[in-house]
Each structure stands twice: as structure tokens, then as C-alpha cells.
Amino acid sequence: MVKVLIDSGLLPPLHDTGAKYGKVSRAVDSNHIDTLFKRLLEVAAPVRVAPTGMYDLAKAAESSRVKLDMILPAVFRGQLDRVCRLEWKKGLEALLVDPVEIREREFEFQPGIPLQMAFEMLGVNDEIGERLISNRTSPPLLPTIQLFGHTEPCVDPSAIQNFLARWATVQMLHAEVGLSANAIQEMLAAAKVKPVYDRNLMGVDIYRRSDARGVFDV
């Protein structure tokens, strides 16, 4: 399941640069997966029996001759009309799609994560997320891409990975090290680590991860 999500660009690849980064991966990837499956509940109505002409992802990919890494982003962006999930199954195994619709709309499929999904993956609300993609910093901390035929921009999964590798919020550090937000703030202050971007500008204090690494094992 995880490999399919990574290949589809919906889940940033796991860090492979040591134990410290492993802590980041476990905390972040869990948050990403939770966000994806929350979205799955929104785009796919539950059914007891598979409707006529609808199949699981593997069979639909084989029948339509469209790769899974093209189908999945379209599902999560809500580009397909015929999507449902078997209520007695969990995760991607529950998904049912229509290979005929996939063949007809293949030309529309492009990589990219909807803004709200990207914000949830980073653990920030919409207001903070909008500041991350804005020109309050140059370049934006979270750059966006514009997909052909779409009015709203998306976020490339690599942009999320780059943000997490360079920046950290107290909430992110809380997920990674398990300390309370107050304890984290006190330890950062004691070490004289200040945010590069404060809450007045971005809505949340954003620290350089390399600075936080000197205080926490992250």
C-alpha cells in the first residue's frame, strides 16, 4: 500500500539518512497516511456490493491499461465521478473505480496534491497554509504548481518533502520527539533558538530544522 502511494506521488518517500530522520519519517508519514485515508472517505461513498462495471484498483488498471500511479492521484483529487469503496474492506483495497471512465479521462490525469490535503499533511490549518504558499517569503516556503485545466493550484509531493527536511514547527517537533508543546518551546528558548519566520508573519513559528537538531534528536 505504502509503495503504491509513494509511486503515485501522494506520499513522500521515507528518509533513508539515519536514525534521526527515521523519527521524522514515522511521525510525518503517519500524518500523511491519516490525511489520505480521511480524504478517501470523502471521495468514495460506501457500498456493500460492487456496482456493475466497477472494479478494484489492480483490475481497473489492468483493464484500462492506465497505471495505478496515474489513477490514484485522480481519485484523491476527485477527478473521477464513479468512485466508491466496499464498506467491509479497509484502505486502498476497498476502492472501486470504473475502467471505462478511466480510459475516457486518462488525458486529464496529472500529478499533484490538493492544497487542503497538503496543509493537513503538514499539520497546519488553511490560514497558515495559505501563508506558506504566498509571497510573504520569496520564494514561498511551500511552492505550488498549476495543473493544465485546473483553476486551483496543487502541491508537488517533493515540495512537502523539501519543506519537512528544512523547516519545523512546534507541532511537528511534538509529533517527532513526544514532548509537550510547552516543553519544546522552553527548550528552544533556553538554547536561544529563534524561529526564522514568526507567527506574526506566517501564523505559526517556523524553525530551521538544523537549528532544532541541536536541541532535539531529530
- What is the pLDDT averaged over residues 95-121? 86
Number of other residues whose CB lies within 10 A of the CB of residue 4: 16
Question: What is d(CA 29, CA 203) in angstroms, rounded to the nearest whole number?
Answer: 24
Largest CA distance in the chain: 63
Question: If pLDDT is split at 50, 70 and 90, which confidence band does 29 have?
Answer: low
The predicted pLDDT at position 149 comes to 67
146-194 pLDDT, tens digit per residue, is: 876 677 888 988 898 899 889 999 999 998 888 999 999 999 999 999 9
Q: Which one of 13-17, 127-131, 210-214 scores highest in mean pLDDT?
A: 127-131
Question: What is d(CA 188, CA 213) in angstroms, rounded to the nearest whole number?
Answer: 10
Question: If pLDDT is split at 50, 70 and 90, which confidence band does 1 have?
Answer: low
| 94 pLDDT higher than 70 | yes
**CB contact at 8 A, 66 and 102:** yes
- What is the pLDDT averaged over residues 12-17? 51
